[in-house]
Amino acid sequence: MELIRTVDAMQAHADAARAEEKTLALVPTLGALHEGHLALVRTALEEADHVTVSVFVNPTQFGPEEDYDDYPRDLEGDRDTLEALDVDAMFAPSVEEMYPYVNDAALPGPLAWVSVEHLDEHLCGAYREGHFRGVTTVVTKLLHACKPDVAVFGEKDAQQYVIIQRLVEDLLFDIDIIGVPTVREPDGLARSSRNAYLDPDEREQATVLYDAVTAAEDAIRGGEQEAQAVVRAMENKLAAPDADVQYAEVVDANTLQPADHLAPGQEVLAAVAVFFGDTRLIDNTFVEVPRA
């Protein structure tokens, strides 16, 4: 596996693979790889001849009060993990490489941003100002740097997944976006790098997120058509002593706007975000409303 640090070297690497008529897949990550990421990598290995995994803790998607400085970083461990999986390239640029003008005294960059309007108005976007603009900007740059035919994302970050699909469609990127279902611990907790922040008591209580999205699924599949009733079913499950609920919402899966009365055949996204202390966890599920 090649460890690549610069955009020029990454683009040259991708061009060389393309010259050999290989298909290319990209798995963008923030690193600190866990089983959830590995599922993305395995999908990429099935989808393309050549797989690049990017490892970049992107500062522009963290708010000023968020955990950018403390976000877990383990470049050496990630490198070993990816080498063992037979990944072709690990792209691990510096912040200065991805954002060349970040330290410019006169006019610090980036000045060019990519954003997808309206899809960030609810769910996480309502609480993390600028987060999705940071994500869509860095994903655009990673796609230009790594030149893939397909890019693989986790459905655990459901809002991100929907936004990136729309980004690629609206801006005519010739790239297929593939979603991989959430990987869970045996007790249902979605795998996340932030699970490492939980103390044992919080970790035990954190299964309420899975209980909540399962309750939403059961309610919708059982014929419930009022979004508020589905939300109440989720909130009931989130009543753990240390759970501080940020949101429990049901939105249309395409527009990400609140759903009131659920229409037969409509695809919806039921999603929750919960704090345990300073640790913010999310979970969600895509559900099709049954046709009568």
Structure token digits, residue 235: 């909130």
Task: Please indicate whether residue 37 is annotated as part of the active site.
Answer: yes
Taking the complex as a whole, the smallest distance from the CB of residue 254 to ligand PAF amounts, in Å, to 20
Taking the complex as a whole, the smallest distance from the CB of residue 55 to ligand PAF amounts, in Å, to 9
Taking the complex as a whole, the smallest distance from the CB of residue 100 to ligand PAF amounts, in Å, to 17
For 15-33, letters b (16+ CB in 10 Å) and e give: eebeeeeeebbbbbbbbbb
Task: Return all residues near 130 (Cβ < 8 A) that are at least 6 apart.
Answer: 60, 61, 63
Taken in order 189, 193, 198, 199, the sign of the CA dihedral is: positive
Strand partners, 244: 275
Q: CB nearer to ligand PAF: give 30 or 212.
A: 30
Q: CB nearer to ligand PAF: give 45 or 238.
A: 45
Q: CB nearer to ligand PAF: give 13 or 37.
A: 37
Taking the complex as a whole, the smallest distance from the CB of residue 63 to ligand PAF amounts, in Å, to 13
Structure token digits, residue 167: 């980004």
CA dist 51 and 152 (Å) reads 10
Evaluate whether 219 touches 237 at the Cβ level (below 8 Å): no
Taking the complex as a whole, the smallest distance from the CB of residue 61 to ligand PAF amounts, in Å, to 6
Which residues here bind ligand PAF, judged by CB under 6 A?
28-30, 58, 61, 135, 138-139, 157, 160
Q: CB nearer to ligand PAF: give 28 or 93.
A: 28
Please give the residue whose beta carbon sits closest to ligand PAF in the complex.
28
* Contacts of the segment 105-111: beta carbons below 8 A, 24+ positions apart: 110/60, 110/137
Using left for φ > 0, alpha for ψ between -120 and 50, and beta otherwise, residue 52 falls in: beta
Catalytic-labelled residue, pool 37, 50, 122, 131: 37
Q: CB nearer to ligand PAF: give 179 or 233.
A: 179
Catalytic amino acids? 37
